[in-house]
Amino acid sequence: MRILVVTATDMEIAPFAATLSDSSRHSVDALTTGVGMVATAARCSRALAQARYDLALNFGVCGSFDSALGPGTVVHVVADRLAELGAEDGDAFLTIQQLHLLEDDAFPFRGGQLVNVSPPTNATLDGLPAVSGITVNTVHGDDRSIALVTRRFNPQVESMEGAAFMYACLVDEVPFAQVRAVSNVVERRNRAAWNMSGAIHALGAAALDILDHA
């Protein structure tokens, strides 16, 4: 099986990156895209156009809106949304679908979201919490904006790359999974409360298990 492993930064996959060359069961290519949805979309699209993969895996960290998903929790993001794609109308926000510039179910969207309707069969993935997320250019760190996005979309997690990865895989018809570890609660920016090292450690362990079961 040929697998593409996608991450925004080398740091996020550091705990298991050294083991990729030791894999005897699969051919694994690692792609570090850089931070943000633009870099992720561009580099994923190029990689998927240059080679045919049996599976694409996005590993990264995320912030959590859900109190049940504390730092160190590893999740499988099965639905993601481009939360800022739309227009402001006073205090209201109109999605690109509400602006009638895109239908709710226009490919690759389903109900205005990017949805992984056929995740790969994988025992480790099956054991992870399946969550919905948003992808943003500006991570939330203000009480008012957090309340607004929660009311609009009720997300469980947020990242800066996930939806871009999913979009590229859906367009290219490559089986995929977006897996993230929670590094922090989404709140007013408070680095002292983050657990980046714990999240990366948990993500690395989950990533190894996913590859072992692929």
Q: How confident is the model at residue 192 (pLDDT cuts 50, 70, 90)?
A: confident
Domain assignment of residue 150, given as a range = 2-213
The whole-number pLDDT of residue 23 equals: 53
Quick one: average pLDDT of 187-213?
90
Question: How far apart are alpha carbons 57 and 31 in whole angstroms?
Answer: 10
The whole-number pLDDT of residue 181 equals: 98
Model's pTM, two decimal places?
Answer: 0.94
Q: What is the pLDDT of residues 88-135, one digit of tens each?
A: 988 889 999 999 999 999 999 999 999 999 999 999 999 999 999 999
Q: How confident is the model at residue 16 (pLDDT cuts 50, 70, 90)?
A: confident
Quick one: average pLDDT of 12-21?
78
Here the CATH number for the domain that contains residue 91 is 3.40.50.1580
**Count: domains in the chain:** 1
- Give percent of the chain with pLDDT exceeding 70: 98
